[in-house]
């Protein structure tokens, strides 16, 4: 009678022993072959509850809640500072399915941070972003880009308030040139002002006011002009990036 060999398992012995161990409840530090280590609670051999994970290769450390082997709930992610060799915070907030999700604060550098809503590791919802160049954006986000209503405060004090889409000014908005005491209000397409009006605003407090004030010009129906221009550029945007305003529309291109 021929001798039949038993089929050998392709699962590494380390994983096989780990699966058979069936860790459950609080444990001391458990070390992985690659140098990673975890200290905390387990359930059915998965990280579950409160625990701390250290990744040796990246120098990252997570301290917080776990669920079925993934980061879930409130937790803090930190990294090793190459100079001081100490841990500095990277993200503090909510997690879901091992990704930033919910309310949280992300620290990009000592002078740049984001505080607000997250969705699947991306800034989505309402949030505030402080940039390294001194600019500040507060408003709505979608997939890591300005999207919706928002305020952009420039480093020189000038600001834009209006509608954003895909990270650019799109739609109605106001650009306050506080350094020279002027206000531009109009309609933007892909970050470019297409139609609007310029008026004096806060000239008394301006650092470098214009030499002459803008004379007041009254249109018989200014709202109708803006509505017509807005409809024109919205429709024309789908056809071509180059647009020409009809001669009967009072408008000019302006780039703040």
pTM above 0.85, yes or no: no
Give the CB-side neighbour count of residue 232, counting CA atoms within 13 A.
Answer: 19
Whether residue 218 is contained in a domain is answered as: yes
> Between 123 and 222, whose confidence is greater?
123
Q: In the chain, how many domains are there?
A: 1
pLDDT at 240: 55
Query: Percent of the chain, pLDDT > 90?
Result: 57
Is residue 53 in a domain?
no
- Looking at every residue in the chain, the average pLDDT score rounds to 85
In a domain, 67, yes or no: no
Residues 182-223 pLDDT 10s: 999 999 999 999 988 888 888 887 878 887 787 776 666 777
Whether 123 maps to a domain, the answer reads no
Q: How far apart are CA 254 and CA 35, in angstroms?
A: 58
Among 252, 190, 255, smallest CA distance to 225 is for 252
Instruction: Determine the pLDDT at residue 245.
Output: 45
Please check the confidence at residue 19 and state whether its pLDDT lies above 70.
Answer: no
User: Is residue 146's pLDDT more than 70?
Assistant: yes
Specify if 171 maps to a domain: yes
Q: What is the CATH number of the domain that holds 180?
A: 2.20.110
Give the pLDDT score at 22: 65
SS (H, E, C) the chain: CCCCCCCCCCCCHHHHHHHHHCCCEEEEEEECCCCCEEEEEEECCEEEEEEEEEECCCCEEEEEEEECCEEEEEEEEEEECCCCCCEEEEEEEEEECCEEEEEEEEEEECCEEEEEEEECCEEEEEEEEECCCCCEEEEEEECCEEEEEEEEECCCCCEEEEEEECCEEEEEEEEEECCCCEEEEEEEECCEEEEEEEEECCHHHCCCCCCCCCCCCCCCCHHHHHHHHHHHHHHHHCCCCCCCCCCCCCCCCECC
Whether 138 is in a domain gets the answer yes
| 9 lies in some domain | no
Instruction: Say if residue 123's pLDDT is above 80.
Output: yes
Domain of 147 in residue numbering reads as 130-227
Task: Look at residue 115 and tell me whether its pLDDT is greater than 90.
Answer: yes
Residue 125 covered by a domain: no
Which stretch of 84-88, 166-170, 201-205 has the lowest confidence by average pLDDT? 201-205
pLDDT score of 72 more than 90: yes
pLDDT at 4 over 90: no
pLDDT at 114 exceeding the cut of 90: yes
Which residue did the predictor score with more confidence, 241 or 155?
155
Cα–Cα dist 36/96, whole Å: 22
Residue 1 or 91, more confident: 91
- The pLDDT of residue 256 is above 70: no
Write out pLDDT tens, residues 34-63. Answer: 999 999 999 888 899 999 999 999 999 999
């Amino acid at each position: 009678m021929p001798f039949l060999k038993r089929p050998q398992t392709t699962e590494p012995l380390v994983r096989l022993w780990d699966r058979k161990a069936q860790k459950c409840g609080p444990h001391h530090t458990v070390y992985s072959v690659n140098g990673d280590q975890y200290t905390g609670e387990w359930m059915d051999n998965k990280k579950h509850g409160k625990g701390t994970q250290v990744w040796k290769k990246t120098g990252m450390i997570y301290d917080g809640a776990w669920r079925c082997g993934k980061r879930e709930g409130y937790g803090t992610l930190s990294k090793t500072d190459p100079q001081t060799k100490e841990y500095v915070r990277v993200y503090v907030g909510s997690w879901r399915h091992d990704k930033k999700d919910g309310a949280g604060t992300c620290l990009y550098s000592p002078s740049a941070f984001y505080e607000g809503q997250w969705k699947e590791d991306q800034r989505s919802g309402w949030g505030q972003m402080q940039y390294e160049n001194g600019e500040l954006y507060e408003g709505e986000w979608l997939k890591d880009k300005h999207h919706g209503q928002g305020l952009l405060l420039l480093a020189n004090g000038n600001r834009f308030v209006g509608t954003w889409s895909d990270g650019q000014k799109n739609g109605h908005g106001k650009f306050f040139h506080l350094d020279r005491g002027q206000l531009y209000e109009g309609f933007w397409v892909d970050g470019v002002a297409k139609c609007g009006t310029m008026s004096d605003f806060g000239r008394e407090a301006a650092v470098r006011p214009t030499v002459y004030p803008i004379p007041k010009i009254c249109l018989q129906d200014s709202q109708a002009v803006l509505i017509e221009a807005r409809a024109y550029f919205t429709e024309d945007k789908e056809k071509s990036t180059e647009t020409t305003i009809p001669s009967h529309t009072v408008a000019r291109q302006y780039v703040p």
